[in-house]
């Protein structure tokens, strides 16, 4: 089962300006081959299909716990995409009403790379890559062979790192850069965790290949505060009481990677503290929430008061 918490894993800084093409670049981290939809889809179905769950508990729990974190990454990237597509908050924009629609208020959107993000999705995110190609189930590998699946996951996390570094290099806005910085730290943890799992089973010290690509996290300014907090050493169970067995893989005297701030790896029960979800204001030109929202806000407020 899943439990939902109305927070993001981190609080994102607001965008400096509306930048639909930066939002499109970030879509690669959502619906690209190595995007968050792919890590989520792989671990989700591998954990469902896992055989001998109780006999292989530390390995099953590892895939299951990381699944929940990846769902939160899908949420984080989606929020970043929408924030960049929509730009800085303009208080009360949602009740101001649209500009004169006969005056082509969306003229610039016809030149945006993912025009459908506005025409179909009102400035929101969907599971497509930076060119609008749909994410699809062919990105999911679930073979039933534990070693092969873990090796695939290791490859997937290194691929995700490649994606994130390249997207990071294309962005100037703080919102998109923060998404990349945080996910680079967390992806490093996942690559490291799958490497250690493979080492426990096979004896091969695959973690010596890390980091791949070979750029230390400390070189990226947006990663530094997460390194200082020790995020690179923490793996969360994402459950009130389950999946504690991951400590057999992550911990057990294993240390941080040589380029990162030193220390022992630790399992954190539960989830990160998280941050607030950025409040996206309405987009009058896209009729979201609708052309005249005042009545809807009034109805919602009455319902909220009744529920208290
Ligand atoms: Mn992820
Ligand atoms: Mn990951």
The pLDDT tens digits along the chain (308 residues) read 999 999 999 999 999 999 999 999 999 999 999 999 999 999 999 999 999 999 999 999 999 999 999 999 999 999 999 999 999 988 777 777 667 889 998 888 899 999 999 999 999 999 999 999 999 999 999 999 999 999 999 999 999 999 999 999 999 999 999 999 999 999 999 999 999 999 999 999 999 999 999 999 999 999 999 999 999 999 999 999 999 999 999 998 999 999 999 999 999 999 999 999 998 888 888 888 887 788 889 999 999 999 99
- Helix residue ranges per DSSP H, 173-273: 174-202, 221-229
Strand partners, 95: none
Residues with C-beta atoms within 5 A of ion ligand 2: 39, 187, 190
Q: How is residue 200 annotated by DSSP?
A: H
Let me know: does 281 contact 90? Beta carbons within 8 Å.
yes
Residues in a beta bridge with 267: 235
Residue 301 CB-density burial (10 A; 0-12 exposed, 13-18 middle, 19+ buried): exposed
* Cα 57 to middle of ligand 1, angstroms: 22
- Paired residues of 266 in beta bridges: 234
Compute, in angstroms, the gap from residue 181 CA to the centroid of ligand 1.
Answer: 12
Q: What angle do CA 264, 159, 41 make, to 5 degrees?
A: 90
- Residues in Cβ contact with 172 at an 8 Å cutoff, skipping those fewer than 6 apart: 22
Ligand 1 centre distance from Cα of residue 289 (Å)? 30
pLDDT of residue 46: 98
**Ligand 2 center to 69 CA (angstroms):** 8
Kind and range of the H or E element at 266? Answer: strand 266-268
Return the structure tokens found at 153: 């996951």
pLDDT at 250: 98
Ligand 1 (single-atom ion) residues, CB below 5 Å:
36, 39, 70, 73
Residues contacting 302, CB < 8 A, separation 6+: none
Instruction: Phi first, then psi: give them for residue 134, nearest 5 degrees.
Output: -65, 140
Kindly give the distance from the C-alpha atom of residue 36 to the centroid of ligand 2, in angstroms, as a whole number.
7
Q: Mapped to the 3 state alphabet, what secondary structure does 27-82 carry?
A: HHHHHCCCCHHHHHHHHHHHHHHCCCCCCCHHHHHHHHHHHHHHHHHHHHHHHHHH
Question: Which ligand has an atom closest to residue 157 CA?
Answer: 2
- Residue 306 CA to ligand 1 center (angstroms) comes to 39
d(CA 239, CA 45): 18
Q: Which CATH number fits domain 20-281: 1.20.1260.10, 3.30.460.10, 3.10.580.10, 3.40.50.1100?
A: 1.20.1260.10
Distance between Cα 96 and ligand 1 center (Å): 37
Ligand located closest to 182 CA: 1
pTM assigned to the model? 0.96
3-class SS shares of the chain: helix, strand, coil, % to 5: 55, 5, 40
DSSP 8-state assignment for residue 164 = H
Tokens of 291: 């052309």
Report how far ligand 2's centroid is from the alpha carbon of 206 (Å).
Answer: 17
Distance 242 CA to ligand 1 centre (A): 21
Q: How far is the CA of 63 from the centre of ligand 1 (A)?
A: 12
Residue 106 is predicted with a pLDDT of 87
Task: Please give the distance, rounded to the nearest whole angstrom, from the Cα atom of residue 140 to the centre of ligand 1.
Answer: 14
Separation of alpha carbons 2 and 73, rounded Å: 15
> Which ligand approaches the C-alpha of residue 71 most closely?
1
How far is ligand 2, taken at its centre, from the CA of residue 98, in Å?
40
Tell me how far apart the terminal alpha carbons of the chain are, to the nearest angstrom.
27
């Amino acid at each position: 089962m899943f439990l939902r918490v109305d927070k993001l894993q981190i609080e994102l800084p607001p965008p400096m300006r509306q930048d639909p093409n930066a939002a499109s670049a970030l879509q690669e981290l959502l619906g690209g081959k190595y995007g968050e939809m792919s890590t989520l889809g792989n671990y989700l179905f591998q954990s469902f299909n896992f055989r001998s769950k109780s006999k292989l508990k530390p390995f099953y729990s590892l895939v299951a716990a990381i699944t929940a974190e990846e769902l939160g990454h899908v949420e984080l990237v989606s929020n970043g995409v929408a924030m960049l597509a929509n730009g800085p908050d303009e208080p009360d924009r949602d009740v101001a009403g649209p500009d004169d629609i006969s005056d082509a208020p969306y003229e610039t959107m016809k030149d945006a790379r993912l025009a459908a993000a506005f025409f179909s999705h009102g400035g929101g995110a969907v599971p497509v890559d930076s060119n609008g190609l749909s994410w699809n189930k062919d990105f999911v590998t679930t073979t039933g062979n534990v070693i092969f699946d873990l090796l695939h996951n290791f490859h997937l996390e290194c691929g995700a790192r490649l994606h994130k570094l390249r997207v990071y290099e294309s962005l100037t806005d703080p919102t998109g850069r923060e998404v990349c910085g945080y996910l680079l730290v967390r992806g490093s943890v996942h690559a490291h965790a799958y490497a250690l799992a493979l080492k426990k089973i096979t004896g091969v010290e695959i973690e010596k290949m890390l980091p791949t690509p070979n750029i230390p996290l400390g070189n990226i300014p947006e990663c530094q505060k997460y390194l200082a907090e020790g995020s690179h050493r923490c793996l969360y169970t994402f459950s009130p009481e389950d999946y504690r067995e991951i400590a057999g893989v992550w911990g057990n005297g294993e240390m941080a990677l040589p380029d990162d701030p030193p220390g022992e790896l630790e399992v954190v029960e539960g989830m990160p503290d998280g941050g607030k979800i950025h409040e996206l204001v309405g987009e009058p030109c896209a009729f979201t929430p609708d052309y005249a929202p005042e009545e809807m806000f009034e109805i919602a407020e009455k319902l909220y008061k009744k529920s208290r």
